[in-house]
Amino acid sequence: MNSIQMTQEVVILVADDDNGHARLIEKNLQRAGLHNPVVRFENGQDVLDFLFAHGEGPRRKPDVPYLLLLDIRMPKVDGIEVLRRIKADPDLRKVHVSMLTTTDDPREVLRCHDLGCNNYLVKPVDYEKFAEAIKQLGMFISLVQVPEINSRAPA
Amino acid sequence: MIDYSKLSKAQLIARLEALESSPTGSRPTQPGAGTDRHETKDLRELKAALDAHSIVAITDARGRITYANDKFCEISKFPREELLGQDHRIINSGYHPKSFFKNLWTTIGRGEVWQGEICNRAKDGSIYWVATTIFPFLNAKGKPEQYIAIRTDVTEHKRTEQALLRFADLVESTEDAILSETLEGIITSWNPAAERLFGYAAHEAIDQPIQLIIPADRRDEEADILARIARGERVHHLETVRRTKAGRLFEISATVSPIKDREGKIIGASKIVRDITERKQAQLQLARYADELKEKNKELETIVYVASHDLRSPLVNVQGFSSELAHACDRIKTLLDGSPAYSADKGELTTLLGQDIPEALSFIQAGVARMDALLAGFLRFSRLGRAAVKIQPLDMPSLMRSILKAMEFQIQQAEASVHSKELLPCQGDPTQINQVFSNLLDNALKYRDPQKACQITISSRLDGNQVHYAVADNGIGIAAEHQAKVFEIFHRLNPKHSTGEGLGLTIAQRILERHNGKIWLTSEPGQGSTFFVSLPRAVSSI
C-alpha cells in the first residue's frame, strides 16, 4: 500500500488572491521542471472549503498528497487563519504548508513558525530571486516525501 | 481732643491763660513787678523745651526765616546762615500743589493756626515729611507780624503709611481673591476679587464662617489647613474645589499663610485664591490632544506599514511580467534568426527586439527596483516607531569599537582614517544608538571629498545633563540651504552619487527623539560637516 502512495503525484495548491502572482508561481514552477498539477484558490475560505471538504466547490481527494503555497493577506480568511486551522486539525496538519508572501515582518514570520508552517518564503520583487525561490521550492517538493493525508476520507 | 487748627489765636491765648491760672497748671502766674522778668525767663525756657523736642522756625510777616533751630538745620541739611533771610521755598519738594500753600497762607494770614503734613526737600535732595503747626503772632492791629512753625519729623511714619496704601491698593486691584480668617475659620477680610470670584459682597462674607465657600464634602480639608497654619506652616498651591454664592463648584489653587500679631503669635490665616478652571480645562484639552496625536501617529504607522506591504504586491507583478516579456523577446529573436522570411524586415525587427523593447523593460525594472527600495525604507521606518526602546548606560568607547569593526571594510574601501577620542558614557538603547552612529559614519564615508584623504573624528563633551557627541568629517560638506532638509524622509543630497534610500538621518533623528536627545549639524561646503548628537548623560558609572 505504501508503495502505491509514494508514486502518487503531489498536487500543488496555490492560495493567492493576486492573479499575476499565481501565474508567476506556476510559470516558475514549470520552468524549474515541475509539472505537478496546480489548483488555484483566490481566498482563504476557498482553500479551507477544499481541504475541509465543505461547500459547493471542489474538495480534496483522499490519498492524494498536497502541498500548499499560502499567501497571508487575502480576502475573507487570511493566510494566518488558514494555517492555524490546518495545523489544528489532526489529519490536515500533515499537509506541507509554505508561506509565500510579500511580508517579511519578523513578527509575522515568527507567528507562522509558531503556528507550524513548514517554511516561509518572501516574494521578492527581484524577479531573478523570485524565480530562484520557486525553483528551490520545486527542488524541495521533488525531493521531499510529502505525506498523504489520512485515508479517512471526508464525507 | 481739641482741634487746635479750629481755634483762633485769641482763643489759643485765652486757653493758655486759663491753663496757667488753673491750680493744676504747671506755671502759676506770678503777680507783681517781677512778672515780666519771669515771663521772659519762662518764654526762654519754653523755647528751649520746644527746641529740644521739635523742629522750630520763625519767619517774619513775609515769610522770611528769622530763626531756625538746630533740629531744622539738621533735618533740612542747610547751615543756619543759608536758611536765614530765605523763605520756605528753599525746602519746597514740589510734592504739593500751589493751592496747598495758598490755603496755608490764607489761613495764617487771617491769624489762624494752620496744621498739616508737609513734604520737604533737604539740601541734598532727600525728601522728608513733617507734621507742621504754624502759629501766627499778631501785632496791635491784629495783623500777623511773625509766624512760628513747629514741626515733627514723620518721614518714617509716612513711608509706612504709603507702603500700606500701596499694599492695600494691590489687594484691592488684584485679580486674585485675597481673604483672611481667624484660626476658628471666621472670615475677617475679603477683597473685590473675592467678591467677583465667590459672588459674596464683602459685607456678606466678613464675620461669616469660611464654610460659606467650602463644599460640604471638603470641610475636613479646611480644618486640616487651619491646624497646619496654627503650627506656623504655609500651604502652597493647594488645589481644591470651592463653591460660589450661586452654588457653582469650581477649581481653585490657594496659598495659605499664617497671620501674626505684634508679638508674633499666630492669630489667623490669609489666603490667596486663584480660579484654575481654565487651566484645568487646558490641561485636560492638552492631554486629549496628546492622546489624539498618539492615536494619529499609531494610525499613520499602520498606514505606512500596510501600504508598504500592499504596494509591494503589484510590484512583484510588474517586475515579474516584465521579465517574462524579456524572456519572450529573447525567444522571438531566436525563432526569427532561423526563419527565412525574417531577412526582409531584419533591420527594424532587430532594432525593436534588440534595443527598443529591452530599453523599455530596463526602465520598468529600474523603476520597480527604486520603488521597492523606497517601500523597504518605509517599512524600516515604521518598524522603528514600534520597536521598544531599552534605555541603559552605554559604554560608548566599546560601542564605537564594535561599529568601527563592523564598518572596517567600508572604511578601508574609502581609504579613510577614523579617529575616536575618549568618549563619555551616556544613556540609550544599544542597538538604536549603534544605528545612529553607524548612519553618521556611513554618511561621512559616502560624502567624502575624492580630492582629499578622508578623515573622520569622533569626540564628546559634557553639557549639563547631556553628553554631546560630534562626528566631524572633511568631506564635501552641505550648503546652508540644504542643511535643514537632510533630516527629511527620502531626502538624498546627491542621488546620482550615492546609494541607499535616503533614510539614514531620518532614522537617526527619529531614534534620538525617542531618547530625549537631539541631532544637528554644522557644515561648510568644501570643508566638511560635523554632526552633533546629544544624549542624556549616564546616571551611573559603568
Condensed to tens digits (0 to 9), the pLDDT of residues B487-525 reads 877 666 665 555 566 678 888 888 898 888 999 999 999
A125–B383 CB contact, under 8 Å: no
- pLDDT per residue over B48-64, tens digit each? 788 788 999 999 888 89
Number of A–B residue contacts, CB under 8 Å: 53
H-helix or E-strand containing B315?
helix B277-337
The set of cell numbers assigned to B483 is 542643511
- Predicted pLDDT at A148: 61
The answer, for B431 touching chain A at a CB cutoff of 8 Å, is no
| DSSP 8-class letter at B266 | E
Q: Which of A40-44, B128-132, B224-228, B489-493 has the lowest mean pLDDT?
A: B489-493
Residue B461 pairs in a beta bridge with: B468
Tell me which residue in B305, B309, B319 faces A127 most closely, judged by beta carbons: B319
Residue B67 grid coordinates: 530763626
Going by C-alpha positions, the residue among B365, B359, B357 that lies closest to residue B321 is B365
Closest CA to B96 of B114, B75, B72: B114
Q: CA-CA distance, B76 to B499, in Å (whole number)?
A: 89
B313 vs A18, A105, A127: nearest CB: A18
Question: Residue B30 has what pLDDT?
Answer: 40
Residue in the structure block whose three cell numbers are 549639563? B464
Task: Give the model's confidence band at B190: pLDDT under 50 very low, under 70 low, under 90 confident, else very high.
Answer: very high
Inter-chain contact B313–A130, Cβ cutoff 8 Å?
A: no
Nearest residue of chain A to residue B306 (CA atoms): A103
Cell of A57: 466547490
Task: Provide the H-helix boundaries in chain A.
Answer: 2-7, 19-31, 44-52, 79-88, 106-115, 127-143
What pLDDT score was predicted for residue A2? 40
Q: Distance (Å, rounded) from C-alpha B272 to C-alpha B33? A: 73
Residues in B 358-387 with any Cβ partner in A closer than 8 A = 365, 368-369, 372, 379, 383
pLDDT at B17 (0 to 100): 56
Measure B390 CA to nearest chain A CA, in Å. Answer: 18
Can you tell me whether residue B139 is helix, strand or coil?
Answer: coil
Q: How far is B309 from chain A (nearest CA, A)?
A: 6
Out of A20, A105, A124, name the one closest to residue B317 (CB): A20
pLDDT at residue number B542? 45
Residues 285-324 of B with CB under 8 A from A: 305, 309-310, 312-317, 319-324
Q: Are B317 and A126 inside 8 Å of each other by CB?
A: no
Instruction: Quickly state the pLDDT bin for B345 (edges 50, 70, 90).
Output: low
**Contact criterion met (CB < 8 Å) for B316 and A128:** no
On the question of pLDDT at B124 being above 50, the answer is: yes
Give CA–CA dist B155/B129, Å, rounded.
5
User: Do the Cβ atoms of B96 and B120 come closer than 8 Å?
Assistant: no
Residue A136 has pLDDT above 90, yes or no: no
Residue contact B312–A102, C-beta within 8 A: yes
Give B300 or B36, the one with higher predicted confidence.
Answer: B300
Q: Does residue B501 contact residue B425 with C-beta atoms inside 8 Å? A: no
Chain A residues near any Cβ of chain B (below 8 Å): 18, 20-21, 24, 27, 73, 102-103, 105, 123-128, 130-131
Shortest distance between the Cα of A68 and any Cα of chain B, in A, equals 19
* Category of A115 on φ-ψ map: left (φ > 0), alpha (ψ -120 to 50) or beta: alpha
Q: What mean pLDDT comes out for the span B87-114?
A: 91
pLDDT at A153: 46
Query: Mean pLDDT for chain B?
Result: 85
The H-or-E segment that residue B254 falls in is strand B249-260
Which residues lie below 8 Å from residue B118, measured CB to CB, with a gap of 6+?
B96, B129, B130, B132, B151
Contacts of A133 in chain B (CB under 8 A): none
Question: Which stretches does DSSP call E strand in chain A?
Answer: 11-15, 38-41, 66-70, 96-101, 119-122
Partners of B243 in the beta sheet?
Answer: B249
With beta carbons less than 8 A apart as the criterion, state whether B471 and B454 touch: no
Instruction: Determine, for residues A130 and B368 on separate chains, whether the beta-carbon distance falls below 8 Å.
Output: no
* Mean pLDDT of the region B443-456: 90
Q: From CA B129, how far away is CA B525, in angstroms rounded?
A: 72
Q: Which residues have a Cβ under 8 Å from the Cβ of B274 and sit 6 or more positions away?
A: B175, B176, B177, B252, B253, B254
Chain A hits for B309, Cβ within 8 Å: 73, 102-103
Percent with pLDDT over 70 in chain B: 88
Q: Give the residue on A whose Cα is nearest the Cα of B383.
A: A105
Q: Give me B320's grid cell.
A: 515579474
Closest CA to B498 of B467, B475, B466: B475
pLDDT of residue B97 exceeding 90 = yes
Number of Cβ within a 10 Å radius of residue B290: 10
- Which one of B311, B316, B382 makes the best mutation probe of the A interface by having the most chain A beta carbons within 10 Å? B316
Decide: helix, strand or coil at residue B277. helix
Pairing relationship of beta strands B249-260 and B235-243 according to DSSP bridges = antiparallel
The interface predicted TM-score of the complex, written ipTM, equals 0.76
Residue B386: closest CA among chain A residues belongs to which residue?
A107
Q: Per residue in B137-181, pLDDT tens?
A: 888 888 888 899 999 999 999 889 888 899 888 888 888 999 999
Interface contact flag, B321 A24, Cβ < 8 Å? yes
**How far B331 CA sits from the closest chain A CA (Å)?**
14
Tell me which residues of chain B, numbers 78 to 137, contact chain A at a CB-CB cutoff of 8 Å: none
CA-CA distance, B493 to B509, in Å (whole number)? Answer: 17
Which of B313, B324, B383 is facing A102, going by the closest CB pair? B313
- Tell me the pLDDT tens digit for each residue of B235-255: 988 999 999 999 999 999 999
What pLDDT score was predicted for residue B242? 94
Q: How far apart are CA B459 and CA B518, in angstroms?
A: 16
Q: Are A18 and B317 inside 8 Å of each other by CB?
A: yes
CB contact under 8 Å between A125 and B312, yes or no, is yes
Question: For residue B305, which residues of chain A lie inside 8 Å, CB to CB?
Answer: 105
